[in-house]
C-alpha cells in the first residue's frame, strides 16, 4: 500500500466525529439515531473501499454528509414509493397505470379511516351486498342492466368464461388471440377457466360465416377481444359487433366483448377514432362487457363487468367471485372516479388520465419552457433545450395514436447520460426519464406542476454530486 493511501485511510473521520457535525446533528433531529449511524457506517465503508482501490475521495464532511443523508432517506423510504414519471407515458403499467383524482383519494381516506356500510343495508338495517355500491353508478352511466367489479380485468374475463362457458366452446377470431403486457394471453386465460377455445377465421380476416360455421351443440359463448396494444392494417376484416350480437341472439348464445381499456367518454372529438365507448357496446346489445379500471377509465386497479342481469347474477354466485372481490378502498376510489363521469366535461378535467391525455400541446409546451428556465436558474452551466416530440398513451391503450408533447432535453457534460439517468432513477423521489441520442428527455406531459420544484432539485443534485457517490 502506498503511503499516501495509508494516510488517506487514517484521515477517514470517525463515526462520532461526523455525528457532531452540524448537518449530521440536523439529521438526528428528524431521523432515528440508529438509521443515521448505519448510514454513516455504510458511507465510510464505501469510502474505505474506494481508497483501497486507489481512488481519491473527498473526505471533508461537506462532501460526505449529502451521501449520508441520501442513505438515511433511502433506508427509511417505503419499498413502494411515489416517483416522478417524466416518460410522457400516461398509462405506464410498470409505474402503476392511472393516477387517481383528488376526489378519489379523499374518498379513500374517508372510507379507510373508519367503519362503513360495506356490506350493511342501511335502509333495511341488515346485512347487505358490497357490489351494490358501484352497480348503482355503472348502471346509470352505461345503460347496462347490472354490473360487477372484480380485482382486475384478467379476473373479470376469467370469471365470465369460467361461469358461462366452462366445459363449453368459446368462439374467438384468430386475429384477436392477443397477448397483453406479458402475462395476459387470451388462450391461456381461456384454458385456465376451463372453457375450450375454438379459433375461427385467419389472422387478418374473419367473416360472420366463420363464426356461424363453428357454432354447435357445445358452443357456450361468442367472444370478441379488443386488440389493445396491437393493430392490423391493410387487407383485414373483422365482424362488426352488431352482426355478432345478431348471430348470438339468433342462436341463443351469449356474446361477450373484452374491451380492455374501456372508456366512458367519446374520444372522437379528440381525434381518437378507434375506441368504442362502453355505452355504445351496451346499446349494441353485447351481453357481457369487461374492461380495466386503471387504464383509460382513470380509476384504481379493477375489472369492470357490465351486462345482462341474469348473467351477472350467475357470476356473483361463482365461488371465484369471492376470491376476486375488491376491497372497500377500491370501491371508494371507483365510486368517486365514476361520479365524475356524470358530466363528461368534468371527467375530462378531474380525472388525471384524461386531463393528461387531452391537455393542449401548448400547455405542455409552456410547462416544458418553465422547467427549462427553472433549471437554468438553479444550474447556470446547463443548457436544456425544449423540443417538440410525441408520447404514447401506454397500458396497451390507443397504440395508433401519438400525442403531441414537449420535452426538456439535457445533455450532461460532466457525466455520461446513462449515469445521469441512473442517479435520477435512484434518488428520492426517483425520476424516471427517457434517453435519446446522448440526451436525457423529460416529457412535460406527465410531470405535474406541483412536482416541478422537486424535479429541479433532483436534476440539480444528480448533475452536481461527485461521480459514483
Binding residues vs ligand PLP (CB under 6 A): 152-154, 157, 180, 184, 225-226, 228, 258, 260-261, 292, 303, 396
Cα separation of 196 and 415, whole Å? Answer: 56
Please state, as a whole number, how many other Cβ atoms lie within 10 Å of the Cβ of residue 293: 28
Alpha carbon distance 51, 44 (integer Å): 10
Compute the least distance from the CB of residue 290 to ligand PLP, in Å: 7
214 Cβ contact list (under 8 Å, min separation 6): 169, 171, 198, 200
Residue whose C-alpha cell reads 381461456 in the numeric block: 190
Q: Whose Cβ is closer to ligand PLP: residue 43's or residue 152's? A: 152
Report the DSSP beta bridge partners of residue 404.
Answer: 390
Q: Using the minimum distance from each CB to ligand PLP, give the nearer residue, 163 or 228.
A: 228
Shortest CB 331 distance to ligand PLP, Å:
16
Task: Supply the angle between the helices 22-30 and 33-52 in degrees, to the nearest 10.
Answer: 140
**Residue with the CB atom nearest ligand PLP in the bound state:** 260
Instruction: Indicate the residue among 337 and 405 with the shorter CB distance to ligand PLP.
Output: 337
Question: Judged by CB, which is closer to ligand PLP: 160, or 180?
Answer: 180
| Nearer CB in complex with ligand PLP: 51/160 | 160
Q: Closest CB to ligand PLP among 150 and 440? A: 150
Least spacing, CB of residue 328 vs ligand PLP, in Å: 19
Contacts of 369 (CB under 8 A, 6+ apart): 386, 406
The two most distant CA atoms of the chain are separated, in Å, by: 92
Report in angstroms how near the CB of residue 187 gets to ligand PLP at its nearest.
Answer: 13
* 357 neighbors 90 (Cβ within 8 angstroms): yes
Closer to ligand PLP by CB, 193 or 292: give it.
292
- 157 vs 245, which CB is nearer to ligand PLP? 157
Q: Please state at what angle helix 102-112 crosses helix 328-340, rounded to 10 degrees.
A: 150
Of 228, 232, 236, 224, which is closest to residue 289 (Cα–Cα)?
224
Residue 367 CB, nearest approach to ligand PLP (Å): 29
In the complex, the smallest distance separating the C-beta of residue 433 from ligand PLP, rounded to whole angstroms, is: 25
Write down the least CB distance from residue 461 to ligand PLP, Å.
35
Q: Which contacts qualify for 134-140: CB closer than 8 Å, 24 or more apart?
A: 134/331, 134/334, 134/335, 134/338, 137/335, 137/338, 137/339, 138/304, 138/306, 138/338, 139/306, 140/342
Give me 448's grid cell.
Answer: 405535474
Residue 206 CB-half CA count within 13 A: 26
Select 396 or 412, whichever has its Cβ closest to ligand PLP: 396
Nearer to ligand PLP, 175 or 260 (CB): 260
CB of 309 to ligand PLP, least distance (A): 23
Q: Is residue 50 within 8 Å of 9, Cβ to Cβ?
A: no
CB of 323 vs ligand PLP, minimal distance in Å: 15
| Angle 113-114-118 from CA coordinates, rounded to 5° | 115
Question: Which CB, 97 or 458, lies closer to ligand PLP?
Answer: 97
The residues, ordered by sequence, that sit 6+ positions from 120 with a Cβ below 8 Å of its Cβ are: 126, 127, 128
State the minimum distance, in angstroms, from the CB of residue 184 to ligand PLP: 5
Please give the order of strands across the beta sheet that includes 303-307.
146-150, 303-307, 288-292, 255-260, 219-225, 169-173, 196-200
- Partnered with residue 127 across adjacent β-strands are 120
Give me the least distance between CB of 226 and ligand PLP, in Å please. 4
Q: Are 465 and 423 in contact (CB under 8 A)?
A: yes
Amino acid at each position: 500500500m502506498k503511503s499516501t493511501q495509508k494516510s488517506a485511510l487514517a484521515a477517514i473521520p470517525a463515526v462520532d466525529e461526523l455525528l457532531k457535525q452540524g448537518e449530521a446533528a440536523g439529521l438526528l433531529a428528524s431521523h432515528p439515531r440508529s438509521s443515521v449511524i448505519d448510514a454513516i457506517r455504510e458511507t465510510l465503508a464505501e469510502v474505505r473501499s474506494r481508497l483501497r482501490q486507489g481512488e481519491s475521495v473527498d473526505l471533508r464532511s461537506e462532501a460526505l454528509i449529502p451521501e449520508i443523508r441520501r442513505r438515511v432517506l433511502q433506508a427509511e423510504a417505503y419499498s413502494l414509493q411515489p416517483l416522478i414519471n417524466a416518460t410522457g407515458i400516461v398509462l405506464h403499467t410498470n409505474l402503476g397505470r392511472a393516477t387517481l383524482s383528488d376526489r378519489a383519494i379523499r374518498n379513500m381516506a374517508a372510507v379507510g379511516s373508519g367503519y362503513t356500510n360495506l356490506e350493511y343495508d342501511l335502509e333495511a338495517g341488515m346485512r347487505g351486498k358490497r357490489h351494490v355500491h358501484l352497480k348503482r353508478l355503472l348502471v346509470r352511466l352505461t345503460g347496462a342492466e347490472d354490473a360487477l367489479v372484480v380485482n382486475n380485468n384478467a379476473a373479470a374475463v376469467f370469471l365470465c368464461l369460467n361461469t358461462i362457458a366452462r366445459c363449453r366452446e368459446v368462439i374467438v377470431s384468430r386475429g384477436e388471440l392477443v397477448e397483453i403486457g406479458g402475462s395476459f394471453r387470451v388462450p391461456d386465460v381461456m384454458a385456465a377457466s376451463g372453457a375450450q377455445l375454438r379459433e375461427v377465421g385467419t389472422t387478418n380476416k374473419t367473416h360472420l360465416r366463420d363464426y356461424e360455421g363453428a357454432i354447435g351443440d357445445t358452443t357456450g359463448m361468442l367472444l370478441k377481444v379488443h386488440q389493445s396494444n396491437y393493430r392490423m392494417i391493410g387487407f383485414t376484416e373483422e365482424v362488426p359487433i352488431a352482426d355478432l350480437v345478431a348471430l348470438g341472439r339468433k342462436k341463443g348464445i351469449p356474446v361477450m366483448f373484452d374491451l380492455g381499456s374501456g372508456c366512458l367518454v367519446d374520444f372522437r372529438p379528440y381525434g381518437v377514432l378507434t375506441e368504442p365507448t362502453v355505452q355504445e357496446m351496451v346499446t349494441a346489445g353485447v351481453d357481457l362487457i369487461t374492461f380495466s379500471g386503471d387504464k383509460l377509465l382513470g380509476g384504481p386497479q379493477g375489472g369492470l363487468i357490465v351486462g345482462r342481469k341474469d348473467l351477472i347474477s350467475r357470476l356473483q354466485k361463482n365461488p371465484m367471485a369471492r376470491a376476486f372481490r375488491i376491497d372497500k378502498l377500491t370501491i371508494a376510489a371507483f365510486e368517486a372516479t365514476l361520479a365524475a363521469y356524470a358530466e363528461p366535461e368534468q371527467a375530462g378535467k378531474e380525472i388525471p388520465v384524461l386531463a393528461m391525455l387531452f391537455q393542449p400541446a401548448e400547455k405542455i409546451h409552456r410547462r416544458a419552457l418553465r422547467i427549462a428556465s427553472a433549471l437554468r436558474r438553479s444550474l447556470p452551466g446547463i443548457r436544456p433545450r425544449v423540443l417538440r416530440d410525441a408520447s404514447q398513451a401506454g397500458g396497451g391503450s390507443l397504440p395508433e395514436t401519438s400525442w403531441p408533447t414537449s420535452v426538456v432535453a439535457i445533455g450532461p457534460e460532466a457525466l455520461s447520460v446513462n449515469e445521469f439517468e441512473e442517479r435520477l432513477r435512484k434518488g428520492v423521489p426517483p425520476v424516471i426519464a427517457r434517453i435519446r441520442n446522448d440526451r436525457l428527455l423529460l416529457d412535460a406531459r406527465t410531470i405535474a406542476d406541483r412536482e416541478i420544484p422537486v424535479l429541479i432539485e433532483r436534476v440539480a443534485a444528480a448533475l452536481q454530486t461527485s461521480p459514483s457517490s
